[in-house]
Amino acid sequence: MSLTATGQRIILSDVHLSYGSQRVLRGLSLHVDAGEIYALLGGNGAGKSTTMSALLGFARPDSGTILVAGHDPIAQADKARDQIAYVPENVALYEHLTARENAAYLLALAGRHPAPQDIDGAFEATGLQTSAWDKRMGGFSKGMRQKVAIAIALLRAVPVLLLDEPSSGLDPRATADFNRLVHDVARRGAAVLMVTHDLLSAADIADRIGFLESGRIIDEAAAQGADRFDVRDLHRKFAREAVTA
């Protein structure tokens, strides 16, 4: 991936979204720049998954603006999705295909046809063991599956990466590997938005953290200096959010 363009790749401006009578997003506004990692932190029911659905064009907002790489995910669904790599919480790929076959197939679905050596290169970049490349994915751990998904994202060279609870269920080493990968993707110019309820993981990886409560951002923290975040302060903010939520 070689994205050098700058600017806001993800924009949500005063987004309201309801499921029937249930108002889930209530004036959500945020933006993620190219090369930036934004963690959307929130408790259960705060609206994290709905935000992800809205960005993918699966949920239609009642009002407000959503732009993904300049495209409206509802009105220009195909164009918007073409700019997004999405890694769900549980990466479920085809268990009876090998890692290499999964990558080739899913990339073909997205209209990309990389050469086999490019797939190998992406797997290498993610740190997926060589011995796993031609193994069926039935026995892969969550970390290995995430690596395959990230490899696919790398090969798609899209400007937006959406991560849904990426660190849940990962051991510390796998989390560290994954964070390194995400940083790598962001360094190549992609805007990364991850939704999570894991404060430490967010503090480890994000450039900015947005605290989501009842469908809107109630506070934001940006990484500063070598220590990046004051974790105690983050805890206080998150706890307050959790209490008020």
Binding site for another protein (CB under 8 A): 56, 58, 78, 81-82, 84, 86, 88, 90-94, 96-97, 101, 104-106, 108-111, 113
Sheet of strand 191-196: strand arrangement: 84-87, 160-164, 191-196, 37-42, 208-213, 216-222
Q: To the nearest whole angstrom, how small is the minimum distance from the Cβ of residue 211 to another protein? A: 25
CB nearer to another protein: give 153 or 221.
153
Report how far residue 241's alpha carbon sits from residue 236's, in angstroms, rounded to the nearest whole number: 8
Phi-psi label, residue 7: left if phi above 0, alpha if psi -120 to 50, beta otherwise: left
Measure Cα distances from 188 to 107, 166, 185, 220 in Å.
Answer: 19, 19, 5, 24
- Pick the closer one to another protein by CB: 91 or 192: 91
Q: How many CB atoms lie within 10 A of CB 6?
A: 11
C-beta of 193 vs 221, nearer to another protein:
193
| Closer residue to another protein (CB): 45 or 88 | 88
Shortest reach from residue 221's CB to another protein, in Å: 29
Identify whether the C-beta of residue 144 lies closer than 8 Å to the C-beta of residue 174: no
Minimum CB distance to another protein, residue 149 (Å): 8
Instruction: Tell me the Cα Rg of the chain.
Output: 18
Residue 96 or 232: the one with the smaller Cβ distance to another protein is 96
Quote the least distance from Cβ 151 to another protein, whole Å. Answer: 14
